Amino acid sequence: MHVLIATIGSGGDVFPYLGVGRALVARGHRVTVLTNPRFRDHVADAGLAFEPCGTVEEYDRAIAHPDLVHPRRAPAHVVRMLVETPSREMYARSRWLIRRQGVNLVLRHLIAMAAGWAARTEGVTEAVGTLAPLFWMSCHDPSQYRKRQRDRLPRWLARVRMAVGRAAARWVFDPAINRARRDLGLPPLRHAFVGEISGRGLNLGLWSPRFRPPAADDPVHGRICGFSWHDGGHQRPLPPELEAFIDRGPPPVVFTLGTSVVHHAGDFYAHALTACRRLGRRALLVGAPPRDDLGPDALAVGFAPFSALLPRALVTVHHGGIGTTAQALRAGRPMLIAPFANDEFDNAARARRLGVSATLDPARLDASSLERSIRTLLDDPAPAARAADIAKHLHHEDGAANAAALLEQFAGQPSRAEHSPGGPTDLSRHV
């Protein structure tokens, strides 16, 4: 089977699909990844074929735009820049790959809609991957869409809110999606956004059922697989400078804003340094530019594989992107989340309800609020104990392998790999 994986967005949107791609290759299948050239080397390192869509300059403009982290304007920015703008090229390249390279199955990120349109045009099987529970809109397990919202809603209120949300999606997002379809000569869709993120067939929930379990109103063909792990940590150790820093003292507090929000860091890293000095703790700033005010108890690095780094942290302070949240959960250390936009509010709320984290409003983030929040986490043994317990379970989950097995069954393709222990044997509600 030749699988085309189409994904778009930041590293947190790309890396989990590389994990699924590696699992498919291990089961004897061929995989091509259609994504922005910014990730060309990552795709090659994963042992997968690469097909470009867009330019590095377009990626940088989309990521650097201030609307990306605006609590209200971010969703419209994502649809405009990552759905509408690249649609013509993604549609054309997907159709070419299907026709010329014998693609049997298209697995797309839920916002890589044009790849799905190409699959339907060419008559091949299409599946959707959903990275964050926010997009499986449920009355039984309501998601958090904004900063200030009650954690638990009465069922009737959740239904009302969902109806309002669907109407708002039609008004805000559907015009851009249908403009893209019209430009491609395709008919408009009614309920375009909600319909496209739900998918026309198999919808893989690439998160742990411990993070968000199945709900009665999940997509009909929705299957929760577990987190898909991929960040390069399986291939290489930590850089020597980083390894030496960790080894020469107690575990540091790790501060990171992932691969997208980091472009809008503002004074985040300066506040982090001040807070750690007041706490008498060491600080590791991931994604921060070089600084001349670090001193011996702090280090700034451009990148580090979280799978190798975060288990050695004292606390992880981050923005709540689903990729970072997943790695922090697997690391088994408590976390502090400052959610900016999009799915981050919901991810932060779910981590808090698990008892492993606290939430800090980015609008109120300064050295003092960081110091207080980190101190509270460290003074209470419960978050660390709960985080360690959840990590034990996550280490036994292999969402990528489970997703690969489900894709085989969905496409009616046999595996050429030996049976993988713990993998799914049918299209059950969750793995």
pLDDT, position 91: 97
Cα–Cα distance measured from residue 337 to residue 339, given in angstroms and rounded to the nearest whole number: 6
pLDDT score recorded for residue 235 = 56
Alpha-carbon 418 to chain mean position: 29
Residue 118's CB is within 10 A of a number of other CB atoms, namely 28
Question: Side-chain half-sphere of 139: how many Cα atoms within 13 Å?
Answer: 14
Predicted pLDDT of residue 150: 59
Overall CATH class of domain 240-394: alpha beta
pLDDT of residue 428: 44
Q: What pLDDT score does 419 carry?
A: 37
Residue 418: per-residue pLDDT: 40
The one-letter code for the residue type at 315 is V
Q: What is the pLDDT along the chain (431 residues), one digit of tens a residue?
A: 999 999 999 999 999 999 999 999 999 999 999 999 999 999 999 999 999 999 999 999 988 888 888 888 888 888 888 888 899 999 999 999 999 999 999 999 999 999 999 999 999 999 999 999 999 988 888 888 766 555 666 777 777 777 777 777 788 889 999 999 999 999 999 899 889 988 888 999 999 999 999 999 999 999 999 999 998 655 567 889 999 999 999 999 999 998 888 888 899 999 999 999 999 999 999 999 888 889 999 999 998 999 999 999 999 999 999 999 999 999 999 999 999 988 999 999 999 999 999 999 999 999 999 999 999 999 999 999 999 999 999 999 999 999 999 999 999 866 554 433 333 334 444 45
State the burial class of residue 208 (Cβ atoms within 10 Å of its Cβ: 0-12, 13-18, 19+). buried
Ranges of CATH 3.40.50.2000 domains, the chain: 2-229+398-411, 240-394
Question: In Å, how far are 150, 165, 192, 421 from 170, measured between CA atoms?
Answer: 25, 9, 7, 43
CB 164 within 8 A of CB 153: no
Three-class secondary structure assignment of the chain:
CEEEEECCCCHHHHHHHHHHHHHHHHCCCEEEEEECHHHHHHHHHCCCEEEECCCHHHHHHHHHCHHHHCCCCHHHHHHHHHHHCCHHHHHHHHHHHHHHHCCCEEEEECCCHHHHHHHHHHCCEEEEEECCHHHCCCCCCCCCCCCCCCCCCCHHHHHHHHHHHHHHHHHHCHHHHHHHHHHCCCCCCCCHHHHHHHCCCCEEECCCCCCCCCCCCCCCCEEECCCCCCCCCCCCCCCHHHHHHHHCCCCCEEEECCCCHHHHCCCHHHHHHHHHHHHCCCEEEECCCCCCCCCCCEEEECCCCHHHHHHHCCEEEECCCHHHHHHHHHHCCCEEECCCCCCHHHHHHHHHHCCCEEECCHHHCCHHHHHHHHHHHHHCHHHHHHHHHHHHHHCCCCHHHHHHHHHHHHHCCCCCCCCCCCCCCCCCCEC
Q: What does the pLDDT read at residue 148?
A: 59
**Residue 147 amino acid letter:** K
pLDDT at 260: 83
Whole-number pLDDT of residue 420: 36
What is the rounded distance in angstroms from the CA atom of residue 426 to the CA atom of residue 420? 13
Query: What CATH topology corresponds to 2-229+398-411?
Result: Rossmann fold (3.40.50)
Q: Provide the pLDDT for residue 151.
A: 62
